[in-house]
Amino acid sequence: MAMQDCCDEAHETQEVLRQGTYDLPRISKVLENEQVFLLVDEGTIRRYKAELTDEIEPQINELVLRAEKGLKTLVKKEKQLRTKVEGVQLEQIAPSSRNVNTAGMSKLEARRIQMLVRQRQRLEEELHALRVEVDDMDLQQMRIH
């Protein structure tokens, strides 16, 4: 009888153990979790954002200034090249007025005429550059409105 009681007790224990451990592989997998997300409060995020802004903003501003400076230089160079091309085109269309006949004039008068011719050409180039600039401004105004 004692042996029977021990066997019954062992059997019940075995069933309880089996019921408690049959789900062990699933529970082990569930318990093997990885921390994927770390929740932080809004204040910490703002602080890190401000630190990042303070660290990066001066560099970005410097790069923007350098880019603007480079753009201004390129625009100025473009205007000079356009003026130069237009001057060459004008020379091809109408022969240069540099070939003024200075025969019979004194050296002083010939030199003065050449200076006036050069000055006239410079002023024509400036006039053309200003016309191009005005046209560009008109286009920009039309785009805005």
Are both 46 and 81 inside the same structural domain? yes
Residue 4: inside a domain: no
Q: What is the pLDDT along the chain (145 residues), one digit of tens a residue?
A: 999 999 999 999 999 988 888 888 888 887 777 666 678 888 998 999 999 999 999 999 999 999 999 999 999 988 888 887 777 776 666 554 445 565 666 778 878 888 888 888 889 999 999 999 888 888 888 888 6
* Residues spanned by the domain of 113: 98-145
Are both 123 and 90 inside the same structural domain? no
Are both 90 and 102 inside the same structural domain? no
Are both 105 and 81 inside the same structural domain? no
Are both 85 and 120 inside the same structural domain? no
pLDDT score for 36: 65
pLDDT score for 102: 58
Residue 6: inside a domain: no
For the chain, the domain total comes to 2
Are both 80 and 104 inside the same structural domain? no
pLDDT score for 96: 47
DSSP the chain: -HHHHHHHHHHHHHHHHHHHHTTHHHHHHHHS---------HHHHHHHHHHHHHHHHHHHHHHHHHHHHHHHHHHHHHHHHHHHHHHHHHHHHS--TT----TTS-HHHHHHHHHHHHHHHHHHHHHHHHHHHHHHHHHHHHHH-
Residue 8: inside a domain: no
